[in-house]
Structure 1
Amino acid sequence: MLVALTLGLAIVVAVIALFMGVFLVMEPDKEMTSRLLSLTTSAGEAPEPDESQGKIGGKLNKPVGKAMNRLGLSGNIAHKLAQANMAITPSEYYIITAGLMLGALLLGWVLTRIFAVGMAAALVAYMIPGSRLKSAHSKRQQNFTHQLPDLIMMLVSSLRAGYGLVHAINIVVSEMPSPSSEEFERVVQEIALGFSLRQALAHMVERIESDDLGLMVTAINIQHEVGGNLSEILETISNTIRERVRIKGEIQVMTTQQRYTGYALVGMPFILAVIISVINPGYMSEMFQPGWPMFIPIGALIMIFMGFILMRKMIRIDF
């Protein structure tokens, strides 16, 4: 019994450490950003990273990276890591994911003695790095969209002052905060490497995946082909985007109550479980005995998770 408890405690500590690794290491890093900005590929994706420079996994980085390259798994993850501005390589991403899955598998099995529970825990752990990656990309995309109206007006002012578009982009790089400055700096880098302005802007749209940015780039491309007053076109687009951002903000305010209601409904079962456990410890402990009783809390957790996802989808308004 003591051995099992010790092993379980060690696994818990290991899983907590891995979770901390995901949230601390998978953070945007200025040094990594500079490395990504300094290179590019013809497809506009992130360059193939040097796996030997990884901070996680040590000597495992190279073989894991080679294996992922053979399986064709590195390119997609490298592109997503570049979109999210994550300071890790694809091999490090897979090492973190494998470590989380192994830790969750062992933890679930040691605590319940049911292998299926361990597998379910490993499946949940598998989704954590991907969710973190998606969240970081979404946040970066949102920040870029909020900066876009001011960015466009800066381009308009530069064009009206008599500067060319490329020079106006250089002004954006020097004056705008991240992530706008980083993305437009990469556009300048690609132009210096021989890409056309059209290609460099298309690559930026692929990285950011913003409809508003796509609208701006389309206007620039059309003006480049047929002519016209680009500053007036961009000013109109800036006002349109600013209005869209304002309406989105109003929608966020109008759905605040529903969002927090969802959070409260998700948190309520856990709060009640803690209160009941304090008042009458034996009442809750029966559900956590090895064997079939463990399926009761597992089923409850699955239904809570599904309900939370459903509520999030119901209050999400896309336009």
Structure 2
Amino acid sequence: MAVVLFLCLSTTFFLFLCFLSSIRSYKKNMAENSEREPITIKRLLKRGNITLKALLLKKKKNSRQAVKLEAQLSLAGVPMKAEEFKVFQWFSVIISGGILYILANEFFLLAAGAVIGFFLPRLWLKQKQRKRIKQFNALLPGMLNSIIGSLKAGFSFLQSLQMVAEESGSPIKEEVQYVLKSLQYGTSMEDSLIQWKERMPSEDLSLLVEAILIQRQVGGNLAYLLEKIVDTNRERNKLENQIKTLTAQGRLSGLIISFLPIGLGAVIYVMNPDYIGTLFSHPIGQAMLIAGAAGQVIGFLFIRKITTIEV
């Protein structure tokens, strides 16, 4: 109930500020127009031309950002438009900031919650993208085996893609359908594959597309080439799993070292709040908290960098 009341009050206050701003700008324009020269048709046309150009440039910039955001949403498999995601992002800002302000009744926590709420949907979108790319890489060998079987049976590469789109599951199905739709719109096979590689940032797919493009230029047995790519991907995945196993202890140590101070501080706060409360109230304690948090983040990033090995 308190959160709903806060959202209603904040929305009303925002609309009131917009109303005051519009009245102030109207009075300012009236005062400026009374002091300036008389308005002529030539002056109005010139001002309208400048305003139209500015609006077109702004609309073009916003459309590029919207197209980029829609591509990210499509890559993550989120059935949402760019405008809907922006509205969801601003709702996250209001809700997270309002919750922290209601719980702590501190203005700086309201600003911190608003910043957190602004970046949370982006982090969620990045996580969805990484998960979908991982699923795509896991299902890619099965897709290649289906294409190899179709090629050996006498089908063309396009017919093999159509069979994969009908038989495979997500996300292979959506990605192959994207290529087929691009071909239906008149795009060549080479350009469609290049667009597919740019759309899906997967190293396995990049290797596959480059091999197919080279084969279409110089010729050769495509089925044999795809079999070699499947073997390469399997060996590469096997090596990645071995590296993850060998670096598991270091990654776990990094997580424990990073979250141990937070957990220990929470336990001390539950046992004796007055003892640890000085850190949050005294300026020296606040500076120590900021320095400790920065050190924890830097240490976590260093450990993550050491334990991350590119294959």
Which of 256, 270, 279 is matched with 1:278 structurally?
270
Say yes or no: does 1:158 pair with 2:145: no
User: What is the deviation of 1:228?
Assistant: 0.9
Task: Give 1:248 deviation, angstroms.
Answer: 0.8
Question: Contact between 2:6 and 2:98, CA under 8 Å: does it hold in 1?
Answer: no
Determine the structure 1 residue equivalent to 2:245. 253
**Equivalent residue, structure 2, for 1:80:** 72
The 1:71–1:155 alpha-carbon spacing in structure 2 relative to 1, beyond 3 Å, is closer
Q: Assess if the C-alpha contact under 8 Å between 2:135 and 2:171 holds in 1.
A: yes
In the alignment, which residue of structure 1 is the partner of 2:213?
Answer: 221
1:97 aligns with 2:89: yes
Shift of 1:87: 2.1
What are structure 1's unaligned runs of at least 5 residues? Answer: 1-8, 16-65
Q: Percent identity?
A: 28
Total equivalences in the alignment: 261
The answer to whether the 8 A contact 1:97-1:125 is kept is yes
Correspondence for 2:224: 232
Q: Distance in 1 between matches of 2:265 and 2:274?
A: 12
Runs (5+) with no aligned partner, structure 2? 8-57
Cα distance, 1:158 vs structure 2 = 0.8
Please, which moves more after superposition, 77-86 or 185-194? 185-194
Are the structure 2 counterparts of residues 196 and 72 from structure 1 closer, same or farther at C-alpha, using a change threshold of 3 Å?
closer
CA–CA separation in structure 2 for the residues paired with 1:117 and 1:296: 18
Q: Mark the CA change 1:251 to 1:10 in structure 2 (over 3 Å): closer, same or farther.
A: farther
Identify, as 1 or 2, the structure richer in helix.
2
CA RMSD across the alignment: 3.1
Larger RCO: 1 or 2 (CA < 8 Å, sep 6+): 1
1:135 aligns with 2:124: no
1:56-89 residue CA offsets vs partner (Å, 9 max, x unmatched): xxxxxxxxxx979647421221111111111222
Q: Contact between 2:269 and 2:276, CA under 8 Å: does it hold in 1? A: yes
Alignment deviations for residues 144-185 of structure 1 (CA, whole Å, 9 cap, x no partner): 112222221221111011111111112212232211122112
Q: How much has 1:278 moved relative to structure 2?
A: 2.5
Q: What is the alpha-carbon distance in structure 1 between the residues aligned to residue 284 and residue 88 of structure 2?
A: 31
Measure how far apart 1:312 and its partner are: 1.8
Take 1:248 and 1:230, find their aligned partners in 2: how far apart are those partners? 27
TM superposition score normalised by structure 1: 0.71
Identify the match of residue 204 of structure 1 among 196, 203, 207. Answer: 196
For residues 228-259 of structure 1, give each alpha carbon's deviation from its aligned partner in whole angstroms, at most 9, with x where no partner exists: 11111111111111111111111111111111
Q: Deviations over 1:2-40 (max 9, x none)?
A: xxxxxxx9459989xxxxxxxxxxxxxxxxxxxxxxxxx
Letter in 2 for 1:168: S
* Cα distance in 2 between the residues matched to 1:244 and 1:13: 55
Q: How far 1:197 moved relative to its partner?
A: 1.8
Show CA shifts across 1:95-117 (max 9, x none).
23333334445566667776555
| Bigger radius of gyration | 2
Q: Which segment is superposed worse, 93-102 or 236-245?
A: 93-102
